[in-house]
Chains A and B, each alone.
Chain A
Amino acid sequence: MLTDRLCGTCAVLTGVSGAGIMLMADDMAYGSLCTSGPTSVLIGQVQYTLGEGPCVDAHRQGRPVLEPDLAGAGSDRWAAFAEPVVAAGVGAVFGFPLRVGAARLGALNLYRDQPGDLSGDQHADALVLADVAAEAILLLHARAPAGPQADELARSADIHLVVHQAAGMVAVQLGINVGHALVRLRAHAFAYDRALRDVAEDVVARRMRFDTSDDQDE
Chain B
Amino acid sequence: MARETMLARALVELADTLVSDFDVADLLIVLTDRCVDVLDVAAAGIMLAAPAGDLRVMASSSEEMRLLELFELQSQEGPCLDCYNTGEPVVNADLGGDDPRWPQFAQRATAAGFRSVHALPMRLRGAIVGALNLFHVDTGQMRPADVAAAQALADVATIAILQHRAATEAKLLNEQLNEALNTRIVIEQAKGMIAQRQGVDMEAAFTALRDHARTHNRRLADLARDVTEGRQDLATLGQP
What is A's interface to B at a CB cutoff of 8 Å? 62-64, 99-103, 118, 120, 123-124, 127-128, 130-131, 158-162, 164-173, 177-178, 204
Set of chain B residues within 8 Å of A120, measured between Cβ atoms:
169-171, 174
Bound together, the chains give a CA A105 to CA B228 distance in angstroms of 14
Interface segment among B49-57, B98-106, B136-144, B154-162: the answer is B49-57
> Which has the most chain B C-beta neighbours within 10 Å: A64, A99, A167, A168?
A168
* Given A168-B194, A168-B228; A127-B72 close (CB under 8 Å): no
- Residues of chain B touching chain A, judged by Cβ–Cβ distance below 8 Å, are 50-52, 54, 56-57, 65, 68, 72, 75, 169-171, 174-175, 178-179, 182, 184-186, 188-197, 202, 224-225, 228-230, 234
> Is the Cβ of B193 less than 8 Å from the Cβ of A127?
no
Query: In the bound complex, do residue B175 and residue A63 qualify as a contact, i.e. CB atoms below 8 Å apart?
Result: yes
Chain A: minimal CB distance from B173 (Å): 9
Among residues of B, the one whose C-beta sits closest to the C-beta of A100 is: B185
By DSSP majority rule, is chain A's interface helix, strand, loop, or mixed?
Answer: helix
C-alpha gap A127/B175 in the complex (Å): 8
Residues in chain A near residue B51, CB distance under 8 A: 124, 127-128, 130-131
Q: In the complex where A63-B179, A124-B170 touch, is A165 in contact with B189 (Cβ < 8 A)?
A: yes
Residue with the greatest number of chain B CB neighbours at <10 A, chosen from A64, A124, A167: A124
Shortest B228–chain A CB gap in Å is 3
Question: In the bound complex, do residue A164 and residue B174 qualify as a contact, i.e. CB atoms below 8 Å apart?
Answer: no
Kindly identify which residue among A118, A165, A172, A177 contacts B197, using a CB–CB cutoff of 8 Å.
A172
Q: If the complex has contacts A128-B52, A171-B192, A172-B196, are A164 and B171 also in contact, measured as CB distance less than 8 A?
A: no
Complex contact A168–B182 (CB within 8 A): no
* Contacts known (A161-B57, A164-B192); A172 close to B234, Cβ less than 8 A: yes
What residues of A have a CB within 8 angstroms of the CB of B193 in the complex? 168-169, 171-172, 178
A134 to chain B: closest CB distance in Å?
10
Q: Is the CB of A127 within 8 A of B178?
A: yes
